[in-house]
Amino acid sequence: MKNMTNPRSSGPGLGLTWPTKDHWESPEARILVPKEVFYSERKGQTENLLIYGDNLLGLKALERKYAEKVRCIYIDPPYNTKSCFAHYDDSFEHSLWLDMMKERLKILQRLLRKDGTIWISIDDDECHYLKVLCDEIFGRKNFVANVIWEKKYSPQNDAKWLSDSHDHILVYAKNIDLKHWGKETKKGLNLLPRTEEMNERYKNPDNDPRGVWKSDNLSVKTYSASCDYPIRNPSGREIWPPEGRSWAISKDSFKELLLDNRIWFGQNGNNVPSLKRFLSEVQDGTVAKTIWPRSEVGDNQEAKREVIAFNSKDVFATPKPERLLQRILYLATDPGDIVLDCFAGSGTTGAVAHKMKRHWIMIEMGKHAETHIIPRLEKVINGSDPAGVTELNNWKGGGGFRYCGIAPTLFEKNRLGRLVINKQYNTPMLAEAICGKVGFTFDPKSDPYWIHGYSTERDFIYIVPREVTNAELQHLNDEVGENRSLLVMCTAFRANLSDFPNLTIKKIPKELLNRCEWGRDDYSLKTALETEAELANKPKRKKRT
């Protein structure tokens, strides 16, 4: 592996390299196929979505509708701990892992709102490579922090070197420059709620009518000559700032605070002056720190106890505790925001987001989508999940979610080896799929029948999975009229295009063949096990601009 970085760079061009970096996936943007809808007793519309299938295909299916709509992304990807690829050397499996992350992170970046953030759980094996990769995709200037989560309490006695007790959570903003966020979003992350322990530090020894307060140091280490003056306390003792320091306020400001009874000299009036800070005037919360102990956000053992509650026979191997996700979502979102997790695992992200009244989208291709996630979410919506953060959020049940699959590939090979429209697609599915591939919004109308979608108020699309006759084209041209335009996509036509000035006519599948990769249903790490020789023989594509 060759790691070349430019410390001054903050965007594209940052130089993490690996053997397969110049190869990229071109997955087909497919449509979602409804499987089932789950509701509590109080039925209604639901925006919550669980997608079963490959997560790269799932993200492509979401991209057009949810671009710049997601407020918070949390992912817990495979950690690449050298146990996934038993038959390949470390450098090759490292390349595959970076390929996998690069393709997904590029789409995730496009899904984030302008005030959104992404949080990525990772351990020491790939953390520092992932940091440089994220610098390249999100921009180094948009790096927020590396949160250290204490995932274990007891040491591993069989550890050969050091027993790891923490994971990393890399945090990036879509745009860390808050001035671009607009009037409605001028904050960064939310503040954590104040704890009882914090509030207990505030007392009221002088019975001040403004309520409880806490004394604060009146001196600062940044020296200022204008703030270096003596203060005489009520007992008559003259007090100067400590050596090398000065008071935090000017002499005039001190006099104003003294008159307002905001300076405290101790119960007998003989102490060094301090500033009274009233609980009623401090900000309603505290800024989160970057070290998160297990006592505050839970650990691996707590997470396993939570998943045992809904599946005791097949305990998920690496769950995250609900309190950890609650901390992330509390900081990064508000009620009603959309939260996304494309490595859903046991479904912790969706369960916590639901209890916190956020909308959520999860993608999972493993069998645990149905053995773990659905049973867990059913308990959440029915109010029968007492574990995790249920009590902390006073959650009683409600809401619902849609369970969807990913449609098969749009084109399949016939017996002659030619790509033709997949027989599993009916006309509405075909129209929706093609609209997304050619940049139109799918919005079918019954009147007029030929509107399947639009790109502007006057530009429409009509998809016909058959040959279109000359007479039919003439009829469409007349109905569309001079002030509108219509893209007609059909399998065949015989006409002089100049006869229909209001129409653009293109053939299916010819018009779409080179837009993406067809027929591939799995972009997971398991299918990425190709030999280095095979990869070397693949032609390199020119980078997209």
- Taking the CA atoms of residue 365, residue 367, residue 372 and residue 373 in that order, the dihedral angle to the nearest 10 degrees is 30
pLDDT at 182 over 80: no
Give the DSSP letter of residue 84. S
Per cent of the chain over pLDDT 70 is 88
Distance from C-alpha of 312 to C-alpha of 290, rounded to nearest angstrom: 33
Crossing angle (nearest 10°) for helices 348-355 and 322-332: 60
CATH 3.30.413.10 assigned to 2-192+287-406? no
| Range 521-532 average pLDDT | 66
**3-state DSSP assignment of residue 65:** helix
Helix (H) or strand (E) holding 301: helix 300-308
pLDDT at 454 over 90: yes
pLDDT at 111 over 90: yes
Q: How far is CA 64 from CA 31, 110, 436, 510, in A?
A: 10, 10, 7, 22
Distance from C-alpha of 526 to C-alpha of 532, rounded to nearest angstrom: 15
The string of pLDDT tens digits covering residues 237-287 is 999 999 999 999 999 999 999 999 999 999 999 999 999 999 888 877 888
CATH 1.10.760 assigned to 411-519? no
Give the DSSP letter of residue 157. T
Maximum Cα–Cα distance across the chain: 105
The string of pLDDT tens digits covering residues 412-430 is 999 998 889 999 999 999 9
pLDDT at 23 over 80: no
Structural domain spans, the chain: 2-192+287-406, 196-281, 411-519
Distance from C-alpha of 143 to C-alpha of 174, rounded to nearest angstrom: 9
20-31 in b/e burial notation, b at 16+ Cβ within 10 A?
beeeebebbbbb
Tell me the pLDDT band of 19, cut-offs 50, 70 and 90.
confident
The string of pLDDT tens digits covering residues 337-350 is 999 999 999 999 99
The pLDDT score that the predictor gives to residue 10 is: 44
CA 50 to chain centre: 15
The pLDDT score that the predictor gives to residue 528 is: 58
Partner residues linked to 120 by β-bridges: 75, 170
In this structure, of 264-273, 409-418, 476-485, 522-531, the range with the lowest mean pLDDT score is 522-531
Crossing angle (nearest 10°) for helices 300-308 and 322-332: 110
**Mean pLDDT over the full length of the chain:** 87
pLDDT at 184 over 50: no
The pLDDT score that the predictor gives to residue 3 is: 41
Tell me the pLDDT band of 44, cut-offs 50, 70 and 90.
low
The pLDDT score that the predictor gives to residue 175 is: 93
pLDDT at 541 over 80: no
The string of pLDDT tens digits covering residues 120-134 is 999 998 899 999 999
The pLDDT score that the predictor gives to residue 417 is: 87
pLDDT at 181 over 60: no
- Name the residue with higher pLDDT: 180 or 460: 460
Distance from C-alpha of 305 to C-alpha of 308, rounded to nearest angstrom: 5
The residue among 315, 405, 388 whose CA lies nearest residue 350 is 388
Tell me the pLDDT band of 183, cut-offs 50, 70 and 90.
very low
| Range 152-158 average pLDDT | 82
The pLDDT score that the predictor gives to residue 529 is: 52
The string of pLDDT tens digits covering residues 209-220 is 999 999 999 999
The pLDDT score that the predictor gives to residue 88 is: 43
